[in-house]
Structure 1
Amino acid sequence: MLRLALFLLASALAGCVPGALVQDAPDLEDAAGYPNHSAGQIVAAVEASMASVGSVSADGDMSFTSPQESRNATYSLRSRLSDSTSVIVRGPLGVIAGQGLVTPDSVFLANRPNKEFLLGPISAAESIVPGASVDGRAVRAALGLLVPEPDVQWSVLAEDGSYRLSGRLAGGTSRSYVVDPAVWRVTELITFDAGGRESGSQTAEAFDTIEGVVMPRRVRLEKGGTVIVLEHRRLSVNPDDLRIRFRRPTDYETFVVR
């Protein structure tokens, strides 16, 4: 049951509804000022480039691989980034396998085949997305909309047309972000434990311009031997008809996850 919960949780933290088909992004050039931006300028530019994004709808395919199993599914996501995110996960033949809701402080998952309802704090997602309980980071990671923490003393290295920001967080852990200044997006995040060992990674690629906003079509999340790959086939930014859809079942057995 725990592995299924992780699978559904991964889906809930990611993003099938009709939406504008993604369009290939044009060829990109180096941003003006590269390689001389400061850490503060880089963080501010990333944050400003996605300031207009208040909500997202997405549909696509996902794969879930762990040392014990591999699964594939499709998903339908609705997200108000500052509020709530709902997801429907479908298995073979489009049969609904589960539904989830992510709020700023909680996660709720309904496993339809087994009639199980799981609920817990947003920190339960830490096993997939480090820092998941902070500022909607779980959903932002799955959508490729991460912003480096502005209160960290970052060191900056310019390499291969990108910036690498490295710094230590409170508690002794550290992070390394790669930012592409051509689109001002995080393309890679590597997390390290207090001993300096790599503890997880997130990558975003295949960027497209969706209604004026640069978004990745492919996101990869890895932690503890579990790899989740999300292929956002359809995306819509700030859709007019966004609806957060989740109803708690009344006849399911309830479990609390931590």
Structure 2
Amino acid sequence: MKTTGYSSLFLHIAVTFLAISFFPGVANTRGDLIFADSFAYPEGVLAGDGPPPGSPPGQGGWTVSNGSPRVAKTGLRFPGIYWVGRSTIVNSPAHTNGDKAVAELLPVTAANDGVVWVGFLVSKTHGALVTHGYAVVSLGNDATGPSLGIGMLFEENLYGLDNNTGENGSRSATNLEPSEETVWMVTKVDFINAKEVLWVNPAPGAEPDVADAAAHLPMTAEFLSSGFSEIVLKIGYTKGIFHFDEVRVGTAFADVVSPSIIP
């Protein structure tokens, strides 16, 4: 296991304090943080990194099931969102699946959680996009069970949601194409109402309104029943190189803005 250095730890504390100071309403409406990773690891291979110090119970380290995801030299930034450390890079050839990394978390289910929020930063940093590619943060591993993909959709070249069934209506795209601009993607996974709702760059000071959402999907019966117990970073069929950063899961919107513990 590789861990964060003291300099990053002190920066983490300072940035968390600033986030709480600027958004006191958010700080007072925290839930339970379930997963948090800022990729504050040494530059190089991601495999074997994590979980970060102070991680939520049940959060595991990163294993690689395909390719060679890496920790980048720098991280992604977005106004008002807690950040520290570096980011992770994933890439792939144009005609096959590429990098794939997996980390465990305590099972997230309808019975245990009801509603969870998922947030992360993403940008495409290099390379032209091939029209049939994808690059997502997946809740659950589609190789072993139901899942929800959040990011650049397969064959769409647009950000959105994908429940990975391949059926009509299984995806909901935004109107935003991936670019070098860093985007903050926030998804509400609502087991109570069997819905998944995505916002792109919502204001971090208050929980976003459903009317302002960029994409919606009904939750599949299988995902509603099983929930998820893995976070998966994966890319395929595209020459583009993507960065992911500040991946967080919690039971309140505030948890994905700024974690309440030092991960």
Give the structure-1-normalised TM-score: 0.28
Structure whose alpha-carbon radius of gyration is higher = 1
Give the structure-2-normalised TM-score: 0.28
Higher normalized contact order (CA 8 Å, seq sep 6+, divided by chain length): 2
- Counting strand residues as a fraction of each chain, which structure ranks higher? 1
